[in-house]
């Protein structure tokens, strides 16, 4: 009976069977194109959101996979190509790979204007950036981009975006951008400056009412990160216009509204603080610092809140102590430790605890003696001056500049305070008179 198959023969047949599973699918995949509506619009939206979420988390491989999934099922979805570009370019030297993807897409869908625009735009970027890839692709890639864009612009004469793109490439060719690197190309630098100026002043001739209406419209639309940038920009323009015409009340209301929407925005914090100080609006200033500290919860937010509370609510001892505690918990380096100790001494002086303040000032001078950092030295000098004023030591206050200038000669003085002031200032740098002028102004106010 020959029905028994040998081990060798069995393995050969198994290999052929396994191959048969892959060979048909391989050939059919080459011949059969995926229909452009393979994914529904809802599917595409869901996948785009998922990919965007991965991008935010910097999970580029997962985001790339999602974009590739969209392109497989909806190969004309240009948003997927834009997202894929971002993922691919997380690694260096990927220009050729991305261009190949776009060229394949344009070859498959020659009537897709948006895919062509992206491809030609990529040609321009490579021609003016990566000369090596540019020359490998085409000896004159800018000229190729120009010709392709001219054809496309002729087919779509009403597309202003295309016309602008063509105008841009013509300028780049005129400026010899394909040969001279943009950092050394004077014409390109000048063009860049002009474009920046035009962009900055693009709302110059738009009325206040139109800008306010535009802001309201944008705020009422669903959240979008790109839209958020425009909202912030409009807030800044409207605030600055009000400041320019001295409408401080209107400006601060806008600043507060801006800060309410974006509590971590540095421009919102800056303008609310600045206008609050200008109006001496204690309520607004305390409110902005409280919100800033609640949002950020770091050493610097606690420091800013402490300074404002000390200035406008000096009797709120519990709040000041809490903020000192917050600063203590959030400090991360020696500089922050120094600032914290300065704030504590200032707090003790304000509370009339002169003995505790003096003890800490002596410890600080001992710790900082011999240093050359004038800014740090004068931070301690200010605390000493405040203490001398609190304890009514007017004679020492009047001679304070003398102690600083003659510090090296006075380090052995018999007077304890003269000696300490001299030890602190013995190595200070006098090359910048502004420091001494600032300290003298403080002394005159004291």
Q: Are residues 168 and 244 in the same domain?
A: no
- First-to-last C-alpha distance (Å) of the chain: 118
Among 145, 168, 195, the domain-final residue is 195
Q: Are residues 152 and 82 in the same domain?
A: yes
Spatial separation of the C-alpha atoms in residues 101 and 67, rounded to whole Å: 13
| Number of residues written out for the chain | 446
Query: Domain range holding 406?
Result: 343-446
**Confidence at residue 439, expressed as pLDDT on a 0 to 100 scale:** 87
Tell me, yes or no, whether 274 lies in a domain.
yes
Q: Are residues 188 and 252 in the same domain?
A: no
Our count of domains for the chain comes to 3
Q: Are residues 174 and 229 in the same domain?
A: no
Tell me, yes or no, whether 253 lies in a domain.
yes
**Confidence at residue 370, expressed as pLDDT on a 0 to 100 scale:** 83
**Confidence at residue 177, expressed as pLDDT on a 0 to 100 scale:** 77
Based on its alpha-carbon atoms, the radius of gyration of the chain, rounded to whole angstroms, reads 34
Q: Which residues of 212-338 form beta strands (DSSP E)? A: none
Q: Are residues 59 and 187 in the same domain?
A: yes
In order of 233, 407, 425, 436, the CA distances from 401 in angstroms are 48, 10, 11, 8
Tell me, yes or no, whether 326 lies in a domain.
no
Tell me, yes or no, whether 163 lies in a domain.
yes
Q: Are residues 227 and 188 in the same domain?
A: no
Q: Are residues 138 and 211 in the same domain?
A: no
Q: Which residues of 214-253 form beta strands (DSSP E)? A: none
User: Residue 80 maps to which CATH number?
Assistant: 1.25.40.10
Q: Are residues 72 and 101 in the same domain?
A: yes
E strand or H helix that includes residue 7: helix 7-31
Q: Which residues of 43-112 form beta strands (DSSP E)? A: none
- Residue 427's nearest CA partner among 365, 379, 366, 373 is 373
Tell me, yes or no, whether 315 lies in a domain.
no
Tell me, yes or no, whether 24 lies in a domain.
no
Query: Could you tell me the sign of the dihedral formed by the alpha carbons of 403, 405, 411, 413, in that order?
Result: negative
User: CA angle at residue 339 from 428 to 432, to 5 degrees?
Assistant: 25
Q: Are residues 155 and 220 in the same domain?
A: no
**Confidence at residue 138, expressed as pLDDT on a 0 to 100 scale:** 66
**Confidence at residue 10, expressed as pLDDT on a 0 to 100 scale:** 45
Among 195, 221, 254, the domain-final residue is 195
* Residue 352 structure tokens: 């009339």
Q: Are residues 65 and 148 in the same domain?
A: yes
**Confidence at residue 137, expressed as pLDDT on a 0 to 100 scale:** 64
In order of 35, 224, 270, 312, the CA distances from 236 in angstroms are 48, 19, 11, 27
- Residue 185's nearest CA partner among 199, 169, 170, 172 is 172
Among 280, 313, 328, the domain-final residue is 280
Q: Assign 395 to helix, strand or coil.
A: helix
Helices 78-88/41-56 angle, 10° precision: 20
Tell me, yes or no, whether 416 lies in a domain.
yes
- Most distant CA pair in the chain, distance: 125
Q: Are residues 217 and 135 in the same domain?
A: no
Can you give the pTM of this predicted structure? 0.65
Residue 373 φ/ψ region, left for φ over 0, alpha for ψ in the -120 to 50 degree band, beta for the rest: beta
Spatial separation of the C-alpha atoms in residues 446 and 424, rounded to whole Å: 20
Q: Are residues 258 and 396 in the same domain?
A: no
User: From first to last of its 446 residues, what are the pLDDT tens digits of the chain?
Assistant: 444 545 544 444 444 444 433 333 333 333 334 444 478 888 899 999 999 999 989 999 999 999 999 999 999 999 999 999 999 999 888 888 888 999 999 999 999 999 999 999 888 888 887 666 666 666 688 888 889 899 998 999 999 988 988 888 888 888 887 777 777 788 888 888 888 888 888 888 899 999 999 999 999 988 887 889 999 999 999 999 999 999 999 999 999 999 999 999 999 999 999 999 999 999 999 999 999 999 999 999 999 999 999 999 999 999 999 999 999 999 999 999 999 999 999 999 999 999 999 999 999 999 988 888 999 999 999 999 999 999 999 999 999 999 999 999 999 999 999 999 999 999 988 888 888 888 888 888 76
Tell me, yes or no, whether 358 lies in a domain.
yes
């Amino acid at each position: 009976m020959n029905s028994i198959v040998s081990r060798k023969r069995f393995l050969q047949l198994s290999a052929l069977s396994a191959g048969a599973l892959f060979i048909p699918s391989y050939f059919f995949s080459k011949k059969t194109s995926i229909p452009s509506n393979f994914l529904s619009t809802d599917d595409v939206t869901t996948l785009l959101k998922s990919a965007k979420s991965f991008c935010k988390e910097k999970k580029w491989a997962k985001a790339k996979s999602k974009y590739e999934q969209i392109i497989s099922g909806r190969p004309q979805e240009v948003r997927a190509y834009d997202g894929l570009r971002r993922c691919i370019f997380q690694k260096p030297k990927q220009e050729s790979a991305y261009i190949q993807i776009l060229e394949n897409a344009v070859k498959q869908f020659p009537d897709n204007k948006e895919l062509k625009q992206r491809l030609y735009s990529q040609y321009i970027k490579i021609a003016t950036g990566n000369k090596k890839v540019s020359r490998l692709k085409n000896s004159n890639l800018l000229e190729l981009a120009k010709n392709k864009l001219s054809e496309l612009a002729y087919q779509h004469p009403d597309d202003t975006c295309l016309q602008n793109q063509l105008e841009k490439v013509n300028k780049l060719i005129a400026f010899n951008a394909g040969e001279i690197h943009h950092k050394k190309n004077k014409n390109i630098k000048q063009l860049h400056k002009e474009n920046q100026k035009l962009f900055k002043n693009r709302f110059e001739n738009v009325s206040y009412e139109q800008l306010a209406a535009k802001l309201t419209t944008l705020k009422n639309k669903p959240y979008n990160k790109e839209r958020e940038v425009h909202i912030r920009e409009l807030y800044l323009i409207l605030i600055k216009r009000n400041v320019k015409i001295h409408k401080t009340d209107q400006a601060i209301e806008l600043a507060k509204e801006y800060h309410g929407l974006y509590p971590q925005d540095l421009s919102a914090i800056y303008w609310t603080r600045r206008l609050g100080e200008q109006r001496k609006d204690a309520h607004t200033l305390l409110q902005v610092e409280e919100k800033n500290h609640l949002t950020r919860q770091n050493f610097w937010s606690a420091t800013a809140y402490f300074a404002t509370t000390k200035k406008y609510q000096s009797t709120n001892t519990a709040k000041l102590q809490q903020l000192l505690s917050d600063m203590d918990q959030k400090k991360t380096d020696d500089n922050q430790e120094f600032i914290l100790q300065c704030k504590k001494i200032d707090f003790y002086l304000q509370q009339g605890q002169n003995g505790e303040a003096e003890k800490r000032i002596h410890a600080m001078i001992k710790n900082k003696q011999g240093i050359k950092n004038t800014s740090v030295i004068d931070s301690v000098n200010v605390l000493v001056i405040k203490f001398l004023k609190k304890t009514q030591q007017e004679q020492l206050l009047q001679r304070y500049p003398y102690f600083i200038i003659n510090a090296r000669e006075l380090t052995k003085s018999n007077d304890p305070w003269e000696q300490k002031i001299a030890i602190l200032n013995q190595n200070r740098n006098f090359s910048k008179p502004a420091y001494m002028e600032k300290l003298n102004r403080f002394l005159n106010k004291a």
